[in-house]
Amino acid sequence: MRANISVATSRREELVDITVQVQEVVADSKVDNGLVILYVQGATAALMIQENWDDSVQTDVVNLLQKLIPRGVWLHDRQDGNGDSHLKAGLVGPSESIPIIDGRLGLSRWQNIFLCEFDGPRSTRKVVCSIIEDR
C-alpha cells in the first residue's frame, strides 16, 4: 500500500511533527505487522525521528544545523540562495523506516516523526508512505 501525506510549513527552517498523519495511514492500511517506509519528496527537506517531549529538541536541531551549515557561503547560493538547505537535507536524509507492531507505529514513548523543512515556508511538502506487510 502507498499513500501520500501533504504537509504545509510556516518557517524557513522548522521541524513539523507528522506522527499522527503517519499513524492514520498505518491504521487505514489494516496492516498488523510490517514496515512503513517514509520518503519526503524535495531536495531541501528531510525526515527525522526525534524526541517529542517538548519543542526544545526540535529547536536545538535547527540551531545546530544553522551553526554547522550557515547560509550564504555555498557555491549553490549563486543560483537561488539555498545552498545551505540542500546540504542540511542531504545530511539529515529523506527517509525513515519504522516497524508496524500490532497495527501501531513501533516508536518509543518519546519518539515522533518530523518533517524537517530547510527552505520554507512551503504550502505543500509531500511525504510518500509505503507499507509492507509481514507475511
pLDDT digits (tens, 9 = 90+) for 13-54: 999 999 999 999 999 999 999 999 999 999 999 999 999 899
The number of residues in the chain equals 135
Q: What is the pLDDT of residue 121?
A: 98
Cell of 54: 517538548
Task: Report the pLDDT averaged over residues 79-99.
Answer: 97
In the predicted structure, residue 107 carries a pLDDT above the cut 90: yes
Residue with cell 499513524: 23
Q: Can you say how many angstroms the Cα of residue 70 is from the centroid of all Cα atoms in its chain?
A: 21
Class of domain 10-133: mainly beta
Q: What is the pLDDT of residue 135?
A: 85
* Per-residue pLDDT tens over the stretch 49-84: 999 899 999 999 999 999 999 999 999 999 999 999
Identify the helix (H) or strand (E) that includes residue 57: helix 56-68
Cell of 57: 529538541
Task: Report the pLDDT averaged over residues 96-111.
Answer: 97
- Any bridge partners for residue 126, and if so which? 6
pTM of the model: 0.96
DSSP 71-106: TT-STTHHHHS-HHHHHHHHHH-SEEEEEEETTEE-
DSSP one-letter code for 62: H
